[in-house]
């Protein structure tokens, strides 16, 4: 075990980023033209970085596995994006956003990074509005805000329930503009399979053209991975089907550390699993908790319909347990509370693994407000319901439609049934303050890195972080590295390091095709998912994790001896793509369990049953575990732990309370 | 870029030509329909022939006739070109396409309806326009005007021509049912307040005008 | 947990690659639950094919929650199948009956060549956006977001146009394989906002020119695109694009 250097600038917390920006070495325009940067991933973090780097004058190549950069899964983010604008005059500030994020992350993130995030959050909103992103507005024409979990101010900007889509399309259009000008070369339907390292520095990648199956070599003076999270290790998650860890995992094979893999966010408001056929889970935006009240029956195994359960027989357990934040407690807290109720036998629906999210009270409240606006003084219940429903429809219409579509039930009439599901992964490639991994020249942005959310991410902070990294942080910090590379000529791709990396990638593909076993890739993926969900999901224990590790090791053996990948490697072969990704997920799954086992405390999304307060809240151990666990992949199935101590100089570390 | 000429060669420009000429042809239909409906009010044909005489001698009308023919020609040629180009945009057809689920058959069949109307026009123009303009009308009526009405009576004594005319007016009705509102949309005139009104007017127009036209041969055939 | 008992006959377009000739192939699937999405039904089909040693049907899909725009099946003669306002991934098997025969084809358009089976190449859309579907503002140039008030109705209208997911159902549905709904949605979004004004007329000309170059057909106002759009993008956008195009070509004195 060795300590690692996070390269945090000296000085006061509030001055670090400003000072860094004024003192970071620059690259002059004529040199920028000769410097090539590879960006893998075209989501918020990738597209914004690629576009901005190209605007600055670098030669950029951008890769995505989808058919267009616009498809990246950032597009599915619903609720909103935080920014410390204080437009609502409710006392928000950079410090408060910083504080909320650190506290929300259960004091397991780096102060300097989070403060920088809070600082640039305001620029993001400005930038996006300038790009024509149609964020929601009030009647006066100014931007509207709403509340999200874990905060007591309204700082969340949104575009109906499609904020991620609108922000991504903004970044996508900026990227397409650069593509049109010839400054970014875009490679769609390409998957990165190896990082190429020359003399200890990242110098390129091996990418597979998914249509032809051809392996391509691409040089870059630096490589940026903005490849998203690894929630699909659980098979069922709210991630897209193609979301994967492969790029990040291959980077660990080249020496990049993987940090805090066990920090997984389980989102409390998802549509419950309906059957074994299910391929993915669908999130209902956290914004719904603004107006939806969560409850279960007070009676165990109550089989009555929701509408037949009278008010005094309902347990609004979040409001009961956390009066200060109520239904808007952070995600980890809300998820665990739902699991607790269901495990105790109070769950609803046919599976009994669901709780109600009920809009009735607030629909009526809105109805009364609307009625009084319309001059109706003693409105009857039907009028209230009608007027209130219109308000709810305006706010959440698309989410309600989506729910009706999937479940076949009408959420305007009966409460929604929801249950937690894997949504986001706070862990990721370890990066320093510059967003550089432990491999020089290899950077990592957005959800793919571990940097800003600690052990739990607050709602509407993922979009903020992805865009902060891509628009405002990486383009500066990468200059510090590239300014020292101006004399390096583009390395021809017939360099032995490229040949070696390509051979390695080819070897894996050929092996997968050659196994010709009996079980499909999905078979193994589902098995892995079940192990992970049961033993490394919302609650973890030493015993369970040890069992999971041995199960995963066995699964890995089975996979490599019995997987069936039809077709060949030199054609469009979606099963082969999946096989490669699942192979990496299996290895990652083991590391996640290992990390969860090492962390003998509960914090944020990591809940160890052995470590909880009498009231069932997460019990941290700041004495022994206030560190980032950065794991080095030794390549032979073992991992070495490196610790980065977390120092809290500006925030008083305390037990997190939302009561 | 930027020049007006190439504006018309773009996909939107080609549609603009269809829209402008379409609206122009619609305005012609109104005049044509108004004058021809004289046949309903005077079965001696004097009133009708009076109108026809005015139309064939007024120089403004004669000038507009040239414009009309050019407009018609442009509508036909551009329509044909668009139809072929649009077909080329989907070289491999669907094995099964349920177009009725998302659009009206006549909206999808403007090329076909237009072709039917073209065939009709060739017959129609050679029967009346060619005669009155070029070959000459042999007889005169009581007022001394060329007796175009007599040519009409002669033509529509043949049941097959009556049927052809009625069927063609049905084609025209469907062509208009799409074309009327569509022309406004192409011109960019889509407005929350006016478009619903335009659509209603379009439907009435598409029914009334062809209905009046179709009534003429039937009226005459029946000797009313 | 639901149990599946639907049995279906599928006629699926199989095409090895862009060069090969394709054909419809019949498959039987059984044990389908009404709660499955259409794509999950295809997962069942593919699992069966793989187990039998056949090659699975390749189709585009990613988010499976109706927002990424990747899924693109032409089902029983309609893009995204029989339900209005949904994508293929949001179509559930409860929209079908036991014993149904379902024909599944790829989008068909000259500008969307088939890659394999049900997968087509929609990069033409990206090139249309690259031709002008943006506001030229470099990172770091922006003024304060609230310095530019935008009337709510206008911002909402821009948002409605911006809700397009670029799936291509409009092209697939149109008898002319026209992309005007897609193109006009982006043009409208930016034309409705004050930020989009400086490049408004340049944008419409460049995007239309690129759209034409890609080989899409022209609009004949059948309304099929609007009817099939999973996001309810309105034909008003096409009229707005036409207006802007005429203004750009016949009124504006700016050269492009």
Residue with tokens 């599901």: A421
Residue A478 CA neighbour count, 13 Å, CB half: 32
Mean pLDDT, range A432-461, rounded to an integer = 97
State the best of C74, C225, C242 to mutate against chain B, taking most chain B CBs within 10 Å.
C242
Query: What would the pLDDT profile of A110-135 be if each residue is shown by its tens digit?
Result: 999 999 999 999 999 999 999 999 99
The answer to whether B5 faces chain C, any CB pair under 8 Å, is: no
Instruction: Classify A640 as helix, strand or coil.
Output: strand
Query: What would the pLDDT profile of A625-638 be if each residue is shown by its tens digit?
Result: 999 999 999 999 99
pLDDT at C3: 63
Which residues from chain A sit within 8 angstroms of residue C142, using beta carbons? Answer: 123, 126-127, 129-130
Q: Please check whether residue A39 is in contact with residue A58, taking contact to mean a CB–CB distance below 8 angstroms.
A: no
User: Beta C101-105 vs A222-225: how paired, if at all?
Assistant: unpaired
Q: Chain C: nearest CA to B8, how far in angstroms? A: 9
Residue C6 has phi, psi (to 5 degrees) of -85, 140
Query: What would the pLDDT profile of A148-198 be if each residue is shown by its tens digit?
Result: 888 889 999 999 889 999 999 999 999 999 999 999 999 999 999 999 999
DSSP symbols for A541-584? -HHHHHHHHHHHHHHHHHHHHHB---S-SSS--HHHHHHHHHHH
Which residues from chain C sit within 8 angstroms of residue B84, using beta carbons? Answer: none
Say whether pLDDT at A400 is over 60. Answer: yes
Within 8 A by CB and 6+ apart from B63, the residues are none
Do chain B and C touch: 3 or more Cβ pairs under 8 angstroms?
yes
Query: What would the pLDDT profile of C167-205 be if each residue is shown by its tens digit?
Result: 999 999 999 999 999 999 999 999 999 999 999 999 999
Tokens of A209: 């053209």
Which residues from chain C sit within 8 angstroms of residue B182, using beta carbons? Answer: 220-221
Q: Is A301 left (phi over 0), alpha (psi -120 to 50) or beta?
A: left
Least Cα distance to C145 among A96, A83, A46 occurs for A83
Q: Chain B: nearest CA to C24, how far in angstroms? A: 8
The chain-wide mean pLDDT, for chain A, equals 95
Q: Please check whether residue A573 is in contact with residue A213, taking contact to mean a CB–CB distance below 8 angstroms.
A: yes
Count contacts between A and C (CB, < 8 Å). Answer: 233
In this complex, which chains have at least 3 CB pairs below 8 Å with chain A? Answer: C
Do chain B and A touch: 3 or more Cβ pairs under 8 angstroms?
no
pLDDT at C139: 97
Q: Which band of pLDDT confidence, cut at 50, 70 and 90, is reported for residue A240?
A: very high
Query: What would the pLDDT profile of C38-93 be if each residue is shown by its tens digit?
Result: 999 999 999 999 999 899 999 999 999 999 999 999 999 999 999 999 999 999 99
Nearest to C47 among A128, A406, A520 (CB): A520
Q: What angle do CA A356, A357, A362 make, to 5 degrees?
A: 135
The answer to whether B95 faces chain C, any CB pair under 8 Å, is: yes
Tokens of B176: 């208009």
**Separation between Cα atoms, residue A39 and residue A43, nearest integer Å:** 11
Helix A13-23 to helix A111-130 angle, to the nearest 10 degrees? 60
Which residues from chain B sit within 8 angstroms of residue C110, using beta carbons? Answer: 88-91
Q: Which band of pLDDT confidence, cut at 50, 70 and 90, is reported for residue A3?
A: low
Q: Sketch the domain layout of chain B as residue ranges.
A: 2-87+104-221
C-alpha A616: how far from chain center: 26
Residue B96 CA neighbour count, 13 Å, CB half: 18
State the best of B87, B95, B192 to mutate against chain C, taking most chain C CBs within 10 Å.
B95
The answer to whether B190 faces chain C, any CB pair under 8 Å, is: yes
Nearest to A142 among C1, C146, C195 (CB): C146
Mean pLDDT, range A436-458, rounded to an integer = 97
Q: Which CATH class is domain B2-87+104-221?
A: mainly alpha
Residue with tokens 């950032």: A74
Q: Which band of pLDDT confidence, cut at 50, 70 and 90, is reported for residue B6?
A: confident
Instruction: Please give the share of chain B, as a percent, with pLDDT higher than 70.
Output: 99
pLDDT at A2: 54
- Which residues in A405-415 are b (16+ Cβ under 10 Å) and which e? bbbeeebbeeb
pLDDT at A282: 92
User: Beta A264-270 vs A416-425: how paired, if at all?
Assistant: antiparallel
Q: State which H helix or E strand residue A356 sits in.
A: strand A355-358
Q: Please check whether residue A130 is in contact with residue A87, taking contact to mean a CB–CB distance below 8 angstroms.
A: no
Which positions of A are catalytic? 331
Contact A241 C62 (CB under 8 A): yes
Contact B98 C250 (CB under 8 A): no
pLDDT at C202: 96
Helices (H), A36-152: 44-56, 94-104, 111-130
Which residues from chain A sit within 8 angstroms of residue C3, using beta carbons? Answer: 275
Q: Chain C: nearest CA to B88, how far in angstroms? A: 8
Comparison of pLDDT for C197 and A147, the residue scoring more: C197
Q: State which H helix or E strand residue C105 sits in.
A: strand C101-105
Total residues found in chain C within this entry:
256
Q: Is the pTM of this model over 0.90?
A: yes
Say whether pLDDT at A18 is over 90. Answer: yes
Mean pLDDT, range A422-437, rounded to an integer = 98
Within 8 A by CB and 6+ apart from A299, the residues are A313
pLDDT at B185: 97
């Amino acid at each position: 075990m060795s300590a690692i250097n996070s390269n945090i600038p000296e000085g006061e917390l509030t001055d670090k980023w400003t000072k860094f920006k004024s003192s970071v070495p620059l690259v002059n325009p004529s040199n920028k033209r000769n410097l090539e940067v590879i960006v893998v991933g075209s989501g918020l973090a990738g597209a914004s970085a690629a576009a901005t780097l190209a605007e600055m004058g670098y030669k950029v190549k951008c890769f995505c596995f989808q058919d267009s950069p616009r498809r990246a899964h950032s597009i599915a983010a619903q609720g909103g994006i935080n920014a410390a604008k204080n437009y609502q005059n409710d006392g928000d500030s950079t410090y408060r956003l910083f504080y909320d994020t650190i506290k929300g992350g259960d004091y397991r993130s780096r102060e300097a990074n989070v403060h920088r995030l809070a600082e640039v959050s305001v620029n993001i909103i400005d930038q996006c509005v300038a790009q024509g992103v149609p964020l929601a507005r009030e009647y006066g024409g100014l931007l509207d805000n709403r509340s999200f979990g874990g905060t007591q101010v309204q700082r969340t900007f949104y575009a109906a329930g499609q904020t991620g889509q609108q922000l991504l399309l903004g970044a996508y259009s900026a990227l397409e503009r650069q593509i049109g000008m010839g400054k970014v070369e875009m490679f769609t339907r390409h998957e990165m399979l190896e990082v190429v390292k020359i003399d200890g520095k990242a110098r390129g990648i091996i990418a597979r053209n998914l249509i032809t199956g051809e392996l391509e070599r691409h040089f870059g003076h630096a490589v940026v991975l903005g490849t998203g999270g690894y929630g699909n290790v659980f098979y069922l998650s709210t991630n897209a089907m193609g979301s994967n860890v492969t790029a990040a995992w291959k980077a660990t094979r080249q020496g990049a550390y993987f940090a805090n893999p066990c920090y997984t966010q389980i989102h409390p408001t998802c549509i419950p699993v309906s059957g074994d056929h299910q391929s993915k889970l669908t999130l209902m935006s956290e914004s719904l908790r603004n107006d939806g009240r969560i409850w279960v029956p007070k009676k165990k195994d109550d089989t009555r319909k929701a509408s037949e359960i009278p008010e005094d027989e309902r347990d609004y357990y979040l409001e009961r347990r956390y009066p200060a934040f109520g239904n808007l407690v952070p995600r980890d807290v809300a998820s665990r509370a739902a699991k607790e109720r269901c495990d105790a036998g109070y769950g609803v629906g046919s599976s009994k693994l669901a709780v109600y999210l009920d809009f009735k009270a607030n629909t009526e409240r809105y109805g009364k407000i609307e009625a009084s606006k319309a001059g109706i003084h003693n409105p009857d219940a039907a009028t209230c319901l009608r007027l209130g429903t219109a308000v709810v429809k305006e706010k959440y219409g698309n989410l309600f439609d989506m729910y009706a579509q999937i479940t076949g039930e009408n959420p305007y009439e009966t409460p929604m049934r929801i249950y937690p599901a894997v949504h986001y992964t706070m862990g990721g490639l370890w990066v320093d303050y510059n967003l550089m991994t432990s491999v020089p020249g290899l950077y990592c942005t957005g959800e793919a890195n571990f940097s800003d959310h600690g052990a739990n991410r607050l709602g509407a902070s993922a979009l903020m972080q992805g865009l902060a990294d891509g628009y405002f942080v990486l383009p500066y910090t990468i200059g510090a590295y590239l300014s020292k590379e101006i004399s390096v000529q583009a390395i021809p791709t017939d360099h032995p390091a490229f040949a070696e990396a390509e051979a390695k990638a080819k070897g894996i593909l050929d092996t997968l095709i050659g196994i010709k076993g009996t079980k499909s890739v999905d078979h193994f993926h589902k098995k892995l998912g079940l192990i992970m969900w049961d033993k490394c999901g919302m609650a973890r224990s030493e015993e369970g994790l040890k069992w999971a590790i041995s199960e995963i090791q066995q699964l890995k053996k089975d996979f490599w001896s019995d997987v069936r990948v039809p077709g060949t490697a030199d054609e469009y072969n979606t099963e082969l793509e999946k096989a490669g990704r699942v192979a990496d997920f299996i290895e990652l799954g083991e590391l996640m369990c290992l990390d969860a086992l090492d962390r003998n405390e509960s914090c944020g999304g990591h809940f160890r049953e052995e470590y909880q307060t009498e009231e069932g809240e997460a019990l941290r151990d700041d004495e022994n575990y206030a560190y980032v666990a950065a794991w080095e992949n030794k390549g032979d199935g073992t991992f070495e732990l490196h610790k980065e101590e977390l120092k809290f100089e500006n925030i008083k570390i305390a037990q997190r309370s939302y009561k | 870029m930027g020049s007006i000429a190439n504006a018309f060669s773009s996909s939107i420009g080609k549609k603009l030509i269809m829209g402008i000429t379409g609206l122009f042809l619609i305005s012609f239909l109104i005049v044509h329909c108004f004058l021809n409906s004289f046949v309903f009010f005077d079965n001696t044909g004097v009133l009708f022939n009076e109108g026809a005489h005015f139309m064939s001698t007024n120089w403004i009308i004669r000038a507009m006739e040239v414009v009309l023919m050019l407009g018609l020609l442009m509508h036909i040629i551009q329509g044909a070109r668009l139809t072929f180009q649009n077909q080329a945009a989907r070289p491999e057809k669907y094995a099964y396409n349920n177009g009725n689920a998302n659009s009206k058959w006549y909206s999808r069949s403007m090329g076909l309806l237009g072709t039917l109307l073209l065939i009709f026009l060739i017959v129609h123009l050679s029967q009346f326009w060619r005669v009155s303009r070029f070959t000459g009308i042999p007889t005169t009526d009581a007022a001394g005007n060329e007796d175009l009405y007599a040519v009409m009576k002669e033509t529509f004594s043949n049941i097959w021509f009556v049927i052809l005319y009625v069927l063609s007016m049905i084609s025209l009705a469907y062509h208009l049912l799409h074309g009327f509102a569509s022309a406004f949309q192409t011109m960019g005139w889509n407005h929350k307040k006016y478009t619903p009104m335009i659509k209603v007017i379009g439907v009435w127009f598409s029914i009334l005008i062809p209905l009046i036209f179709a009534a003429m041969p039937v009226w005459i055939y029946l000797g009313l | 947990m639901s149990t599946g008992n639907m049995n279906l006959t599928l006629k699926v377009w199989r095409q090895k690659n862009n060069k090969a000739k394709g054909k419809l192939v019949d498959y039987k699937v059984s044990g389908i639950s009404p709660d499955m999405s259409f794509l999950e039904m295809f997962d069942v089909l593919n699992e069966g094919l793989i187990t039998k040693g056949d090659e699975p049907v390749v189709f585009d899909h990613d988010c499976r929650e109706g927002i990424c725009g990747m899924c693109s099946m032409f089902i029983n003669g309609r893009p995204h199948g029989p339900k209005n306002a949904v994508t293929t991934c949001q179509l559930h098997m409860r929209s079908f009956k036991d014993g149904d025969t379902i024909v599944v084809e790829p989008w068909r358009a000259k500008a969307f060549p088939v890659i394999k089976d049900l997968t087509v190449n929609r990069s033409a859309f990206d090139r249309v956006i690259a031709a002008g579907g943006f506001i030229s503002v470099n990172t770091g140039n922006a003024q304060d977001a609230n310095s530019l008030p935008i009337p709510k109705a206008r911002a909402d209208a821009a948002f409605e146009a911006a809700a397009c997911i670029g799936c291509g159902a409009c092209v697939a549905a149109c008898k002319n394989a026209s992309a005007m709904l897609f193109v006009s949605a982006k043009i409208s979004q930016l034309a409705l906002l004050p930020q989009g004004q400086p490049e408004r007329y340049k944008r419409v000309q460049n995007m239309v020119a690129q759209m034409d170059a890609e080989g899409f057909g022209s609009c004949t106002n059948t309304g099929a695109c609007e009817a099939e759009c999973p996001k309810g993008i309105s034909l008003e956008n096409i009229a707005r694009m036409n207006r802007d195009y005429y203004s750009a070509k016949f009124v504006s004195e700016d050269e492009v």
